[in-house]
Amino acid sequence: GNSVTQMEGPVTLSEEAFLTINCTYTATGYPSLFWYVQYPGEGLQLLLKATKADDKGSNKGFEATYRKETTSFHLEKGSVQVSDSAVYFCAPNTDKLIFGTGTRLQVFP
Amino acid sequence: EPEVTQTPSHQVTQMGQEVILRCVPISNHLYFYWYRQILGQKVEFLVSFYNNEISEKSEIFDDQFSVERPDGSNFTLKIRSTKLEDSAMYFCASSPPGLSMNTEAFFGQGTRLTVV
Protein backbone atom coordinates (compact mmCIF):
# COMPACT_ATOMS: atom_id res chain seq x y z
CA GLY A 1 0.00 0.00 0.00
CA ASN A 2 0.92 3.67 -0.10
CA SER A 3 3.05 5.00 2.74
CA VAL A 4 5.33 7.85 3.71
CA THR A 5 8.42 7.99 5.89
CA GLN A 6 9.68 11.17 7.48
CA MET A 7 12.65 11.82 9.68
CA GLU A 8 11.87 11.59 13.36
CA GLY A 9 11.67 14.76 15.35
CA PRO A 10 12.00 16.94 17.08
CA VAL A 11 14.34 18.89 14.88
CA THR A 12 15.80 21.67 16.99
CA LEU A 13 17.47 24.62 15.29
CA SER A 14 18.61 28.12 16.04
CA GLU A 15 17.05 30.99 14.16
CA GLU A 16 18.53 31.51 10.66
CA ALA A 17 19.79 27.92 10.47
CA PHE A 18 19.29 25.78 7.38
CA LEU A 19 16.48 23.24 7.53
CA THR A 20 16.05 19.90 5.81
CA ILE A 21 13.26 17.49 6.63
CA ASN A 22 13.56 14.26 4.68
CA CYS A 23 10.55 12.54 3.17
CA THR A 24 10.36 9.36 1.12
CA TYR A 25 7.23 7.63 -0.04
CA THR A 26 5.92 4.48 -1.62
CA ALA A 27 2.88 4.77 -3.83
CA THR A 28 1.18 3.01 -6.67
CA GLY A 29 0.86 5.14 -9.74
CA TYR A 30 2.09 8.69 -9.98
CA PRO A 31 1.15 10.66 -6.89
CA SER A 32 1.07 14.37 -6.38
CA LEU A 33 3.17 15.37 -3.38
CA PHE A 34 2.26 17.79 -0.63
CA TRP A 35 3.75 19.29 2.50
CA TYR A 36 1.29 20.32 5.20
CA VAL A 37 2.10 22.26 8.37
CA GLN A 38 0.35 22.20 11.71
CA TYR A 39 1.00 25.18 13.98
CA PRO A 40 0.28 24.73 17.69
CA GLY A 41 -3.43 24.46 18.37
CA GLU A 42 -4.38 24.65 14.70
CA GLY A 43 -5.40 22.34 11.88
CA LEU A 44 -3.38 21.17 8.90
CA GLN A 45 -2.53 23.83 6.33
CA LEU A 46 -1.08 23.30 2.89
CA LEU A 47 2.50 24.56 2.74
CA LEU A 48 3.46 23.59 -0.81
CA LYS A 49 2.90 20.98 -3.47
CA ALA A 50 4.34 19.44 -6.64
CA THR A 51 2.34 17.44 -9.13
CA LYS A 52 4.96 15.95 -11.45
CA ALA A 53 8.56 14.82 -11.53
CA ASP A 54 11.20 17.57 -11.14
CA ASP A 55 8.55 20.12 -10.16
CA LYS A 56 9.62 22.38 -7.29
CA GLY A 57 6.98 23.56 -4.87
CA SER A 58 7.74 26.68 -2.84
CA ASN A 59 6.05 28.90 -0.29
CA LYS A 60 7.15 31.14 2.60
CA GLY A 61 10.81 30.38 1.86
CA PHE A 62 10.26 26.62 1.98
CA GLU A 63 11.03 24.46 -1.06
CA ALA A 64 10.69 20.83 -2.04
CA THR A 65 11.49 19.09 -5.33
CA TYR A 66 9.63 16.04 -6.65
CA ARG A 67 12.29 13.37 -7.17
CA LYS A 68 10.67 10.43 -8.90
CA GLU A 69 13.87 8.41 -9.19
CA THR A 70 14.43 8.44 -5.43
CA THR A 71 10.71 8.71 -4.47
CA SER A 72 11.58 11.65 -2.25
CA PHE A 73 10.21 15.11 -1.53
CA HIS A 74 12.56 16.66 1.01
CA LEU A 75 11.58 19.98 2.56
CA GLU A 76 14.20 22.73 2.82
CA LYS A 77 14.44 26.28 4.05
CA GLY A 78 17.54 28.40 3.95
CA SER A 79 16.94 30.40 7.11
CA VAL A 80 14.33 29.35 9.64
CA GLN A 81 12.48 31.67 11.99
CA VAL A 82 10.99 31.10 15.42
CA SER A 83 7.56 31.38 13.80
CA ASP A 84 8.33 28.29 11.69
CA SER A 85 8.07 26.12 14.81
CA ALA A 86 5.36 23.59 13.96
CA VAL A 87 4.79 20.01 12.90
CA TYR A 88 5.43 19.30 9.22
CA PHE A 89 3.73 16.49 7.31
CA CYS A 90 4.73 15.06 3.96
CA ALA A 91 1.75 13.59 2.10
CA PRO A 92 1.60 11.81 -1.26
CA ASN A 93 -1.78 11.80 -2.95
CA THR A 94 -2.87 9.14 -5.42
CA ASP A 95 -6.57 9.28 -4.70
CA LYS A 96 -6.34 10.53 -1.11
CA LEU A 97 -3.66 12.10 1.06
CA ILE A 98 -1.52 9.69 3.05
CA PHE A 99 0.23 11.16 6.08
CA GLY A 100 3.04 9.98 8.27
CA THR A 101 3.75 10.87 11.89
CA GLY A 102 5.02 14.33 10.99
CA THR A 103 8.25 16.03 12.04
CA ARG A 104 8.21 18.56 14.84
CA LEU A 105 10.44 21.59 14.23
CA GLN A 106 11.50 23.75 17.15
CA VAL A 107 13.33 26.98 16.35
CA PHE A 108 14.97 28.93 19.14
CA PRO A 109 16.09 32.57 19.04
CA GLU B 1 -11.10 33.33 3.11
CA PRO B 2 -13.36 30.25 3.09
CA GLU B 3 -12.50 27.60 5.63
CA VAL B 4 -13.60 24.23 6.92
CA THR B 5 -15.18 24.52 10.34
CA GLN B 6 -15.56 21.73 12.88
CA THR B 7 -17.63 21.54 16.02
CA PRO B 8 -17.17 20.96 18.85
CA SER B 9 -13.49 21.68 19.35
CA HIS B 10 -13.39 19.26 22.25
CA GLN B 11 -15.80 16.45 23.13
CA VAL B 12 -15.63 14.28 26.21
CA THR B 13 -17.83 11.21 26.23
CA GLN B 14 -18.28 8.05 28.23
CA MET B 15 -17.29 4.72 26.76
CA GLY B 16 -20.21 3.14 24.92
CA GLN B 17 -21.89 6.43 24.13
CA GLU B 18 -22.60 7.69 20.64
CA VAL B 19 -20.90 10.83 19.40
CA ILE B 20 -21.44 12.95 16.32
CA LEU B 21 -18.64 15.14 15.07
CA ARG B 22 -19.74 17.93 12.81
CA CYS B 23 -18.05 19.64 9.91
CA VAL B 24 -19.02 22.36 7.49
CA PRO B 25 -16.85 21.99 4.37
CA ILE B 26 -16.08 24.82 1.98
CA SER B 27 -19.22 25.50 -0.02
CA ASN B 28 -18.20 24.64 -3.59
CA HIS B 29 -16.14 21.59 -2.64
CA LEU B 30 -17.16 18.14 -3.79
CA TYR B 31 -14.81 15.74 -1.99
CA PHE B 32 -14.98 15.26 1.76
CA TYR B 33 -12.74 13.36 4.15
CA TRP B 34 -12.31 12.38 7.75
CA TYR B 35 -8.90 11.71 9.25
CA ARG B 36 -7.86 11.06 12.80
CA GLN B 37 -4.66 11.50 14.79
CA ILE B 38 -4.11 9.60 17.98
CA LEU B 39 -1.84 11.61 20.26
CA GLY B 40 1.76 11.35 19.11
CA GLN B 41 0.92 9.12 16.17
CA LYS B 42 0.40 9.63 12.47
CA VAL B 43 -2.58 11.22 10.80
CA GLU B 44 -4.72 8.30 9.58
CA PHE B 45 -7.24 8.28 6.76
CA LEU B 46 -10.72 7.15 7.77
CA VAL B 47 -13.08 7.78 4.89
CA SER B 48 -13.66 9.78 1.73
CA PHE B 49 -17.07 10.87 0.47
CA TYR B 50 -18.14 12.01 -2.98
CA ASN B 51 -21.45 12.40 -4.73
CA ASN B 52 -23.35 11.51 -1.57
CA GLU B 53 -21.67 8.21 -1.00
CA ILE B 54 -18.52 6.75 0.51
CA SER B 55 -15.84 6.45 -2.14
CA GLU B 56 -13.22 4.81 0.03
CA LYS B 57 -12.78 3.77 3.63
CA SER B 58 -9.91 2.42 5.68
CA GLU B 59 -9.79 -0.64 7.94
CA ILE B 60 -10.31 1.67 10.91
CA PHE B 61 -13.71 2.71 9.55
CA ASP B 62 -15.67 -0.29 10.78
CA ASP B 63 -19.39 -0.72 11.45
CA GLN B 64 -19.15 1.60 14.44
CA PHE B 65 -18.47 4.54 12.14
CA SER B 66 -20.78 6.25 9.69
CA VAL B 67 -20.79 9.48 7.73
CA GLU B 68 -23.59 11.63 6.45
CA ARG B 69 -24.15 14.79 4.51
CA PRO B 70 -27.66 15.41 5.70
CA ASP B 71 -28.44 18.84 4.31
CA GLY B 72 -25.92 19.73 1.61
CA SER B 73 -23.75 21.78 3.95
CA ASN B 74 -22.89 19.68 6.99
CA PHE B 75 -20.73 16.57 6.90
CA THR B 76 -20.89 14.44 10.02
CA LEU B 77 -18.96 11.53 11.47
CA LYS B 78 -20.85 9.33 13.88
CA ILE B 79 -19.28 6.81 16.21
CA ARG B 80 -22.03 4.56 17.48
CA SER B 81 -20.49 3.08 20.61
CA THR B 82 -17.25 4.77 21.56
CA LYS B 83 -14.24 2.88 22.87
CA LEU B 84 -11.28 4.22 24.80
CA GLU B 85 -9.08 3.76 21.74
CA ASP B 86 -11.30 6.14 19.75
CA SER B 87 -9.76 9.00 21.72
CA ALA B 88 -8.01 11.12 19.11
CA MET B 89 -8.09 14.37 17.18
CA TYR B 90 -10.51 14.05 14.28
CA PHE B 91 -9.95 16.21 11.22
CA CYS B 92 -12.47 16.94 8.51
CA ALA B 93 -11.23 18.01 5.09
CA SER B 94 -12.69 18.98 1.74
CA SER B 95 -11.37 19.39 -1.80
CA PRO B 96 -12.66 21.43 -4.72
CA PRO B 97 -13.77 20.01 -8.07
CA GLY B 98 -10.99 18.82 -10.35
CA LEU B 99 -8.60 15.93 -10.49
CA SER B 100 -8.70 14.87 -6.85
CA MET B 101 -5.11 13.73 -6.67
CA ASN B 102 -3.75 17.10 -7.74
CA THR B 103 -5.95 19.30 -5.67
CA GLU B 104 -5.17 20.17 -2.11
CA ALA B 105 -7.41 19.23 0.76
CA PHE B 106 -8.47 21.98 3.13
CA PHE B 107 -8.57 20.90 6.75
CA GLY B 108 -10.59 22.04 9.71
CA GLN B 109 -9.10 22.78 13.13
CA GLY B 110 -10.08 19.36 14.40
CA THR B 111 -12.25 17.97 17.17
CA ARG B 112 -10.45 16.43 20.09
CA LEU B 113 -12.47 13.42 21.24
CA THR B 114 -11.75 12.05 24.69
CA VAL B 115 -13.44 8.80 25.68
CA VAL B 116 -13.45 8.11 29.41
Cross-chain residue pair A96–B48, CB shorter than 8 Å: yes
Confidence of residue A29 (pLDDT cuts 50, 70, 90): confident
> Per residue in B27-79, pLDDT tens?
989 899 999 999 888 899 999 999 899 999 999 999 999 999 988 789 999 99
The SS3 of residue B40 is coil
Query: Quick check: B58 and B67 in contact, CB under 8 A?
Result: no
Choose the weakest-confidence range: A34-43, A76-85, B13-22, B82-91: A34-43
Residue A88: which of A15, A3, A23 has the closest Cα? Answer: A23
> What single-letter amino acid sits at A102?
G
Residues with Cβ within 8 Å of B75's Cβ and at least 6 positions away in sequence, in order, are B22, B23, B24, B25, B32, B49, B67, B68, B69, B92, B94
The phi, psi pair for A73, rounded to 5°, reads -155, 65
From B40, B44, B109, residue closest to A42, measured CB to CB: B109
Residue A47 Cα, gap to closest chain B Cα (Å): 10
Strands B106-107 and B88-95: antiparallel
> Per residue in A80-93, pLDDT tens?
999 999 999 999 98
Mutation test of the interface with chain B: which of A44, A47, A52, choosing the one with the most B Cβ atoms within 10 A? A44
